[in-house]
Structure 1
Amino acid sequence: MTANEEQTMELEALRSIYEGDECFKELCPASFQYRVGNRGDPKAFLLEISWPEMYPELPPNISLNAFFNNSISSSIKQNIIGKLQEQVEANLGTAMVYTLFEWAKENQEQLMENHHPVVGAMTASLTENTVISNSSVAKKKEKKEQLSKSQKKKLADKTDNRGELPRGWNWVDVIKVKL
């Protein structure tokens, strides 16, 4: 079987396996991304794997350079790539993208054990405070005046398509009266 036929078969397998998986993204038929970890998880990372022309005889290119990974130190990125390269060497000559993604998922804790997300903790605390303050604001706004059907219709007739009153709706005509 040629390298091109193997790539086609692996591509079809990846598409069927990860269909509907929000963590998986096919950038092009030879390049894929997988988010290891849940959204909001400070130890999540985005793994990108692309195939060279002679893949699987040649190893795939592995990258952690996505913007998503900016909070991860370069030493941790190098460690992750090093561990994945060991998996690549063990699977060289076979379709391995699925294997690499699954290995990264299974070993996420070990790969990210030295990652200490300071920014993530601050963001979580700020988000928590924002949620609390927003809920108290929502409680204050609950007492809304109930309009009758006819009042709503009159209000709708006066407003434009964005629900805003037209410019000058409350202006008063000034009439000059001669005495």
Structure 2
Amino acid sequence: MTANEDQEMELEALRSIYEGDEGFKEISPVSFQFRIGDLDDTKAFILDVTWPETYPETAPQISLDAFFNNRISPETKLMILSKLEEQVEANLGTAMMYTLFEWAKENQEALMENHKPVMTTVSLTSNNEVTTSGSTAKKREKKEQLTKAQKRRIINRTDNKGELPRGWNWVDVIKHLSKTGGKDED
């Protein structure tokens, strides 16, 4: 079998195994994301796996660069990746995605035992002000800017009270009625 046939067979197997599983996401036929742990679990992480052309003869590319993993320290990420690399080496030449995902699920506690969540310091001081690590940045609400032509059209459509005159959209009503038809006269 060629690498592409092996990939197609493994892809079909992964789709059938993880059908309906919210933790598995197929980005493309050669790229996947798999969440280890529940969404609300502080020790959960997402594996990004991409198959090179010669997979399974060569190792898949595994990363923990997903935004979901930002709270994991770089040291913990390196440790997880090194443990996964050991598993990849042991399974090289065979379809290994299911094996890797299940191994990571079974060993989640051991992989995340030294995990200390990385906290970013952002504090809200008021509705319009955000302080980020010492610097002060103010957010201002932007009003929608209309051009003179847009303002003129609005004024021309409204009466002196700012209300649209009765029947202003009669063209739209007639179009709607012509599409839906009137009453059937049998």
TM-score bin, normalised by smaller chain: 0.5 to 0.7
1:153 corresponding residue in structure 2: none
Instruction: Kindly state the Cα deviation for residue 117 of structure 1 after the two structures are TM-superposed.
Output: 2.4
Instruction: Compute the displacement of 1:116 (Å).
Output: 1.9
Determine the structure 2 residue equivalent to 1:106: 106
- Hey, which of these two has a bigger chunk of strand by percent? 2
Instruction: Point out where structure 2 has 5 or more consecutive residues left out of the alignment.
Output: 121-161, 164-186
- Residue 76 (structure 2) aligns with: 76
1:32 aligns with 2:36: no
DSSP-derived class of the 2:49 partner: strand
Instruction: Quote the Cα distance in structure 2 between the aligned partners of 1:62 and 1:119.
Output: 24
For residues 7-22 of structure 1, the aligned pairs below 5 Å read 7-22=7-22
Code of the residue aligned with 2:87 in structure 1: it is Q
SS of equivalent to 2:32: strand
Decide whether the 8 Å contact of 2:48 with 2:63 is kept in 1. yes
Cα distance in 1 for residues equivalent to 2:73 and 2:27: 25
| Per-residue deviation, 1:118 | 6.3
Q: Judging changes above 3 Å, is the alpha-carbon distance between structure 1 residues 55 and 119 closer, same or farther for their aligned structure 2 residues?
A: same
Query: What is the CA distance between 1:119 and its match in structure 2?
Result: 4.5
SS in 1 for 2:48: strand
- For the residue of structure 1 that corresponds to 2:26, the secondary structure is strand
Paired residue for 1:42?
A: 42
TM-score, scaled relative to structure 1: 0.66
Aligned to 1:57: 57
**C-alpha separation between the residues in 2 aligned to 1:118 and 1:56?**
35
Q: Could you list the per-position Cα deviations for residues 13-55 of structure 1 after superposition, in whole angstroms to 9, with x for gaps in the alignment?
A: 0000000000000000001101101111110000111100000
Per-residue CA deviation, residues 48-107 of structure 1 (Å, 9 max, x unaligned), is 111000000000000000000001011110100000000000000000011111110000
Counterparts of 1:44 and 1:101, CA distance in 2: 13
User: Which 5+ residue runs of structure 1 have no aligned equivalent?
Assistant: 121-166, 169-179
Q: Which runs of 4+ in 1 moved over 4 A?
A: none
CA 1:106–1:7 in structure 2 vs 1: closer, same or farther (change >3 Å)? same
Question: Matched residue of 2:34: which SS?
Answer: strand
TM value normalised by structure 2: 0.63
Q: Residue in 1 aligned with 2:23?
A: 23
Deviations 1:114-168 (A, max 9, x none): 1122649xxxxxxxxxxxxxxxxxxxxxxxxxxxxxxxxxxxxxxxxxxxxxx99
> Could you tell me whether the CA contact under 8 Å between 2:11 and 2:29 is conserved in 1?
yes
CA root-mean-square deviation: 1.6
Number of aligned residue pairs: 122
User: CA separation in 2, counterparts of 1:118 and 1:78?
Assistant: 15
Distance in 2 (CA, whole Å) between partners of 1:48 and 1:115 is 19
SS in 2 for 1:70: helix
